Structure 1
Amino acid sequence: MESSNQEVWIGVDVGTTGVRAIAYTEDGTNVCSSEAFYPLLTPHPDWAEESPLQIYESVEEVISKTAAQLWYKNKELAGIALSTVMHSFAGLDEHLEPLMDMQTWADSRSADVVRDMKKDPVLCHSFYERTGCPIHACYPLAKVLWLKRHQPDLFRQMKYVGSIKDYLFYHLTGQWVIDKSTASTSGMYNERTLQWDDEILSYAGIDKSYMPPVVSTTYMHTLAPKAAGTMHLPEGLPVVIGATDGVLVNVGIGAVQPGQLSATIGTSGALRMLTRQPKTDPQMRTWCYNLTDDMWVAGGAINNGGMILRWVRDKICHYGGSKLEDLDIDPYDLMTMKAEHVDAGADGLICLPCFTGERAPYWNSELRGMFFGFSLNHSRSHIIRAVMEGICYSLNSVMLALREFGDIRDIRVSGSFTKSRLWLQILSDVLNEKLTLPDNSEGAAFGAATLGFIASGRLKSIADTAHLVHAKKVYTPIAENVATYRELYSIFARLYLKLQDEFAEITEYQKKI
């Protein structure tokens, strides 16, 4: 059998509930792919855990299946590169094995720790300026402090602080290291000195011996014999450690120059802007994480994106069963059709979509969802549209902070919301900006593969991918809608500011139930 001389890398995208492995050539062609899923465990309110071993077995499965497809297609695999979710934490024992299930980004059990930290604004601002991470329950710093406070026996047994990225890389290569991108999402890595921050580690009750050595996102090591045997791959195959999914989305959709933004709505949502150096916000509304040695991503992620529309689908519209599937109807298409019959602004119905607390720009786990302005003329169609608009209002809150970092000249979109023309138009109108829908919206997996091509020398930098991604459609703001949303967003923003005490009180009440 003749071997193809076109280099192929597998980008592995480890998400919250599933993993995809996609094989790419350096021109961005998707050769083949495979995916697998694993459960998100919620044993208690505010807990959101996963089994690292279950994730690793899923990763081995999708790599093995994708590599097998490459063999049948007569394509030679050059290497594997990783993208993983941010903010995961599991304490590890002396053998680098987890002492517990891994806390995910969605785990907010450490809200009490965060509340106590915020009583010292000077400390919070100091930690933020050094790490680029606001004080919030999603960050591993808060998770380590929670373990210290609530499970001291486990804390004493912990010898190393682990994340899903270093756990996977260790089992694939035998090397325990962490990339700059994942380290910079921990709340314990100093983005100015590019080292673990001694003062913050001391505050958490640990030291540098607990932390993995930090390497570049293009750092490469060879596949270990055990992993190679399990996946039927050659020993010595290069494995690139890669970055986090949040920043790699920008690479995947071609938003790779300063001033370019990515706007994503999937389960959650985010706005991300590339910068040449770490950027922090005086009001601590945004985060800043590493992408490559000379590129950073400033932005903000919102907790509540498509998951709120799913809640409307199941709890308000009752479209979650099999009846619509039997009729070959997508429930979201039906919901969009209903929302299209309602004018911009949903006749004055405003949704604050903070059902699971909120990250950017408020960083407040005690926020709760709310519909404001109900009257008798409002229907389910209004509720659907108000939710779509409210999620866009939340992203606009992040956009106001990012505008202070520099000119915005191009916004590219990705995520499941790109299937809805209505939702894309709403976001364009709320932000009052043009939006570009790229022809490649696979995001993080392609971004990871790109780091593989850079590590192997086939590409010089992420900027080399800009010409590979083209505009499929451009959405332009509608002036009349822009004026409507400007007025209603002002009310939306004030609702949060005026109800701080009430949000805290209702959260405390709900914890007693």
Structure 2
Amino acid sequence: MSHQEHVLGIDIGTGSARAGIFTPDGVMLAEAKTPIAMHRPAEHHVEQSSTNIWRAVCSATRRAREAAGVSAASVTRMSVSATCSLVLLDKAYRPLALSPGEEPWDIIVWMDHRATVEAAECTATGGAPLANLGGTMSPEMQMPKLKWLKRHRPALYEQIGYAGDLGDWLGFHCTGSFERSVCMLACKWTFDPRPGHGWDRDFLARIDMADVIERAALPETAQPVGVDLGALTEAAAADLGLTTGCRFSVGMIDAYAGALGTLGRSLTDAPKRRLAVIGGTSTCHIAAQPERCAVPGVWGPYPGALGDAFVANEGGQSITGALLDHLVAMFAAGGEFGDDVHGALSEILLERLAKGDPAPHTHVCP
């Protein structure tokens, strides 16, 4: 890659899509952010729209490239980190709407807990994939969500022609490739990337999901993070303001991308002594080591999810960042900190911490 070429990074969080233009050695030249919409049709149901997210990705990409002052042709590589939300497409690969509205609400958001009963049923099987999930299936994973659809929305389930993590869907939307990231399949789909494992069809049959591999267009293998997925299609390139000379690389779940950037060289220097804590709408704690290490109650071990030759484990707390939003909103002065509330409050706290612990005997645990 020459010095005249650039890399595009896309991050799709819970509330916004972000784009950054980078030099090949990792210097960010510019970034842009566009909010994305959320739909809550019922308690524990949280939905988004892939159409809305695509518009946000394209808007952020165009503005980031313009701010960086680089040509469309100079952006020769791109990849994505994204939440583990579930995108549903019909057999013609169009958005498959879960709820009526102006937007096709075709995404079950990661934090959606409609499938709590189905997750418990998966756990009750005691199936082999549970050994990679700390022994318990989460309603935030994809098999319980699809099982819920099969049970409660059978007509919609029959229409599914593609179901995938948001990051894998972006790769499909940009290139047409059906390949999936090992990070996403291993962490959220019960796929075991170890040689001789793959999909546990006995487990899928026991949870009445034997048809899911064909219905969701799931591959039999998972691609390592960073592998070349293909060139942008003409339509995707036109929407993004790029060219078909830009190639898409296999991406990651957003927390894992954060963990890879946070741990960095310590994966080889001291992998057993460091833990990445990634804060956002939720808080994720991710560690990696060369050997498989199963911990009851902790997700993983996930081979390859964080990088080749490393096995990852993940814990954390859901919606901790959203809880901070809630706490700020409860106070009358919460609206006095501008658009970046967390940034403003962080500056105040850091100033106070520099002078010593401002509340040495106070701990707040909502």
Coarse TM-score class (shorter-chain normalised): 0.7 to 0.9
Contact 1:132 1:278 in 2 (8 A): no
| Cα 1:26/1:148, change in 2 over 3 Å | same
Aligned counterparts, 1:241-320, within 5 A: 241-256=250-265, 257=267, 258-259=271-272, 260-281=274-295, 283-289=296-302, 290-315=305-330, 317-320=331-334
| 1:105 alignment partner, SS class | coil
Aligned counterparts, 1:310-349, within 5 A: 310-315=325-330, 317-321=331-335, 323-325=336-338, 330-331=344-345, 341-344=358-361, 346=362
* Counterpart in the other structure of 2:111: 106
Code of the aligned partner of 2:299: T
- TM-superposed CA distance for 1:13, in Å, is 0.9
| 2:248 alignment partner, SS class | strand
Q: Which has the higher helix share?
A: 1
CA deviations over 1:175-225 (Å, ceiling 9, x no partner)? 222111111122331243462332233332424323332322222110111
| Cα 1:6/1:95, change in 2 over 3 Å | same
206-215 vs 54-63, which moves further = 206-215
* Counterpart in the other structure of 2:231: 222
- TM-superposed CA distance for 1:297, in Å, is 2.0
| Cα 1:244/1:277, change in 2 over 3 Å | farther
* Counterpart in the other structure of 2:91: 94
* Counterpart in the other structure of 1:182: 184
Contact 1:50 1:104 in 2 (8 A): yes
Contact 1:313 1:332 in 2 (8 A): no
C-alpha distance in structure 1 between counterparts of 2:108 and 2:9, whole Å? 24
| Cα 1:5/1:90, change in 2 over 3 Å | closer
- TM-superposed CA distance for 1:125, in Å, is 5.6
C-alpha distance in structure 2 between counterparts of 1:237 and 1:265, whole Å? 31
| 1:294 alignment partner, SS class | coil
Contact 1:113 1:145 in 2 (8 A): yes
| Cα 1:245/1:180, change in 2 over 3 Å | same
- TM-superposed CA distance for 1:14, in Å, is 1.1
| Cα 1:52/1:325, change in 2 over 3 Å | closer
228-237 vs 71-80, which moves further = 71-80
Contact 1:268 1:302 in 2 (8 A): yes
- TM-superposed CA distance for 1:55, in Å, is 0.8
C-alpha distance in structure 2 between counterparts of 1:54 and 1:252, whole Å? 28
Contact 1:19 1:37 in 2 (8 A): yes
Aligned counterparts, 1:201-212, within 5 A: 201-202=204-205, 203=207, 204-210=209-215, 211-212=217-218
Match of 1:54 among 46, 52, 55: 52
Contact 1:70 1:76 in 2 (8 A): no
| Cα 1:74/1:38, change in 2 over 3 Å | closer
Contact 2:3 2:24 in 1 (8 A): no
Contact 1:273 1:299 in 2 (8 A): yes
CA deviations over 1:33-54 (Å, ceiling 9, x no partner)? 1111112211111111110111
CA deviations over 1:115-136 (Å, ceiling 9, x no partner)? 3444x2xx23632125678301
C-alpha distance in structure 2 between counterparts of 1:156 and 1:129, whole Å? 30
Match of 1:171 among 170, 173, 176: 173
| 2:332 alignment partner, SS class | coil
Code of the aligned partner of 2:253: T
- TM-superposed CA distance for 1:157, in Å, is 2.0
* Counterpart in the other structure of 1:200: 203
C-alpha distance in structure 2 between counterparts of 1:308 and 1:143, whole Å? 24
| Cα 1:90/1:74, change in 2 over 3 Å | closer
Code of the aligned partner of 2:155: D
How many residues are treated as equivalent by the alignment? 339
Code of the aligned partner of 1:112: V
Code of the aligned partner of 1:206: D
* 2:130 pairs with 1:115: no
C-alpha distance in structure 2 between counterparts of 1:237 and 1:162, whole Å? 23
* Runs of at least 5 residues in structure 2 that lack an aligned partner in the other structure: 98-105
Code of the aligned partner of 2:186: S
TM-score if structure 2 supplies the norm length? 0.82
| Cα 1:186/1:330, change in 2 over 3 Å | closer
Code of the aligned partner of 2:91: E
| 1:96 alignment partner, SS class | coil
* Runs of at least 5 residues in structure 1 that lack an aligned partner in the other structure: 347-384, 391-513
C-alpha distance in structure 2 between counterparts of 1:137 and 1:43, whole Å? 18
Match of 2:242 among 223, 233, 245: 233
CA deviations over 1:441-479 (Å, ceiling 9, x no partner)? xxxxxxxxxxxxxxxxxxxxxxxxxxxxxxxxxxxxxxx
| Aligned-residue CA RMSD (Å) | 3.0
Code of the aligned partner of 1:16: T
Contact 1:147 1:155 in 2 (8 A): yes
C-alpha distance in structure 1 between counterparts of 2:7 and 2:184, whole Å? 21
- TM-superposed CA distance for 1:272, in Å, is 0.8
Code of the aligned partner of 2:325: R
Q: Percent of pairs identical after alignment?
A: 21
Contact 1:134 1:287 in 2 (8 A): no
C-alpha distance in structure 2 between counterparts of 1:319 and 1:125, whole Å? 51
C-alpha distance in structure 1 between counterparts of 2:173 and 2:135, whole Å? 28
* Counterpart in the other structure of 2:158: 156
- TM-superposed CA distance for 1:103, in Å, is 0.7
TM-score if structure 1 supplies the norm length? 0.60
| 1:270 alignment partner, SS class | strand
Contact 2:73 2:243 in 1 (8 A): no
| Cα 1:68/1:296, change in 2 over 3 Å | farther
